[in-house]
Each structure stands twice: as C-alpha cells, then as structure tokens.
Amino acid sequence: MLIRHRDLEPSVDPDAYVASTAVLVGDVRVAAGARVLHGAVLSGEDGFVSIGEDTVIMEHALVRGRATHPAVVGAAVMIGPHTHINGSTVEDEAFIATGASLFPGSVIGAGAEVRINGVVQVNTTVGPGMVVPIGWVAVGNPAHILPAERHDEIWAVQQKLDFVGTVYGVGNDVSMRDVMRSQSQFYGHHRDDVALDQS
C-alpha cells in the first residue's frame, strides 16, 4: 500500500517489487531491483527513506526516516525480518540480520554486519566490514562493541550520545508527558493520509 502523507508520496522504480501487504508512507524512494516483502513498513513521514538497488527488505521490517536523520539504505543490502532501522545510514552490501535495531544518527559501513538482535545506538558508527555479534550492542563513534550484560560500560558511552535530543529533539529536562504530547500531535497528522490508487 502506498500512502500520501503531508503531500509527499512514495516513488517506486518500475523494476522494484513491493508486496501487496507492505506499507510505504510519505517520502520514500525505492530503486530498481529492490524488493520489499510482506508486512514491511517504510515510513517517510518525518524524513525521507531511500532504498538502493537490489536491496531486499524482509517481512515485517521497519525503515523510518527522521527529519534530521533520513534512513538511507545503499545497494545490495539485506535487511532481515523484524529489523528496525530508524534514521540510520546503511552503506552498500551490509547485512542487517533478523531483529536488529539501528537508532537515529547511526552509520553502518559498507560490508558490515549487524547480526541477529544486534543493537546500534544513536550516533554510533560501525565501520566498514565490522561485525556486531548476535545480541551485542554497538555504542559510540567509533563503535565499542559489547555484550548486553556489560550494561554499565555501554551506559557510560551511551549517556554521552544524546539519545533524547537525537530522537525527540528535546533536552533531558523535558518530562515524558511533554515528549509524548508532542509525539501524539505529530502522529495525529496520519488522520489526513490518502491511500494512492495503484491500478
């Protein structure tokens, strides 16, 4: 399903394939040879999403662009099922496995791998060819790659990366009530979405 959102609508190359149950919202560009499989969601409601040639986005993956961090996925990238790519740049020939989570401002270098349930925190750079092992966390620039049980070490780096400012555009002193009021207002604009005729 292709959806116009805030007067922006998806653009899909005629040589790409988008499954009937996938959803593309707003400013989304899909290049030739790309494949977007069932249940995937590509959301350009806040910032654009660009999918490169011959990239495959598996079932139920989410790729979301942010105003200050578009989601730019290069060519020949594999994005596994249930993967979450939020405002991240993924360079050519990277492998993003099932259940991986990439947060705004992160960069995955060419040929890098984020394996099953790997996490790449905000403003983190995983260099070309690097590997984030199954269930591990990449944090910082350049990335420190640590197992999840080393939370104190992860947090020591992560707290300097400005998660709240990067994701929500506010300071740490803003209450959750105010953050969510703003988010509710932002996502309320979906009431005006228009499904596009694909015949």
Give the pairing type, strands 144-147 and 136-139.
antiparallel
Q: What is the share, in percent, of the chain residues with pLDDT greater than 90?
A: 72
**Is the CB of residue 48 less than 8 Å from the CB of residue 67?**
no
Choice among 8-12, 73-77, 164-168, 187-191 with the minimum mean pLDDT: 187-191
Instruction: Tell which wins on pLDDT, 9 or 193.
Output: 9
Residue 136 near residue 124, CB atoms below 8 Å: no
Answer yes or no: are the C-beta atoms of 90 and 72 closer than 8 Å. Answer: yes
Whether CATH 3.40.50.300 fits 2-195: no
Q: What is the pTM of this model?
A: 0.90
Among the residue ranges 133-142, 144-153, 160-169, the one predicted with the least confidence is 160-169
**180/35 Cα distance (integer angstroms):** 34
What span, in angstroms and rounded, lies between the C-alpha atoms of 110 and 156? 27
